[in-house]
């Protein structure tokens, strides 16, 4: 006899984010997204930010990340909407900088 239908209380994506945060304690998890999977493994790309970097500290888009003391609570809270908006802004900036460099 086996036990079927038991699932973990955490998603695989959350587990991947926690492992990345544990491996890099000085970084903050900004978000993650699904990359691929096979029969055994599932891969997620985890985006990490260094809150002590001068460029991050001076950027107003990252003001919510810099200066807060309760980092564990922030990791548990999933700031999904804010993260998505910030990632979209960063992608647009990267695309604009690539276009300006190619011209």
Q: What is the pLDDT of residue 38?
A: 93
Q: Judge whether 91 lies within some domain.
A: yes
User: Which pTM value belongs to this model?
Assistant: 0.59
Query: What is the distance of C-alpha 31 from the center of its chain?
Result: 2
Looking up tokens 């809270």 gives 77
Mean pLDDT over each residue of the chain, to the nearest integer? 80
Instruction: Name the domain count of the chain.
Output: 1
Q: Judge whether 7 lies within some domain.
A: no
Q: What is the pLDDT of residue 23?
A: 95
Owning domain of residue 94: 12-102
Where does residue 51 rank: exposed (0-12), middle (13-18), buried (19+ CB within 10 A)?
A: middle
Q: Judge whether 77 lies within some domain.
A: yes
Q: Phi, psi at residue 28, to the nearest 5°?
A: -115, 140
Q: Judge whether 79 lies within some domain.
A: yes
**If residue 34 lies in a helix (H) or strand (E), which one and from where to where?**
strand 28-37
Q: Judge whether 6 lies within some domain.
A: no
Say which CATH number the domain at 96 has.
3.40.1120.10
- Residues in the chain, pLDDT under 70: 1-8, 67-82, 103
Tokens describing residue 78: 């999933």
Q: Judge whether 98 lies within some domain.
A: yes
């Amino acid at each position: 006899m086996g036990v079927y239908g038991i699932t973990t209380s955490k998603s695989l994506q959350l587990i991947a984010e926690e492992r990345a945060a544990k491996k890099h304690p000085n970084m903050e998890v900004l978000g993650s997204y699904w990359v691929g999977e096979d029969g055994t493994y599932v891969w997620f790309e985890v985006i990490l930010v260094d809150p002590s970097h001068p460029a991050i500290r001076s950027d107003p888009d990252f003001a919510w990340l810099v200066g807060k003391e309760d980092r564990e609570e922030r990791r548990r809270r999933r700031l999904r909407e804010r993260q998505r908006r910030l990632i979209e802004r960063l992608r647009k900036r990267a695309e604009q900088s690539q276009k300006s460099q190619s011209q």
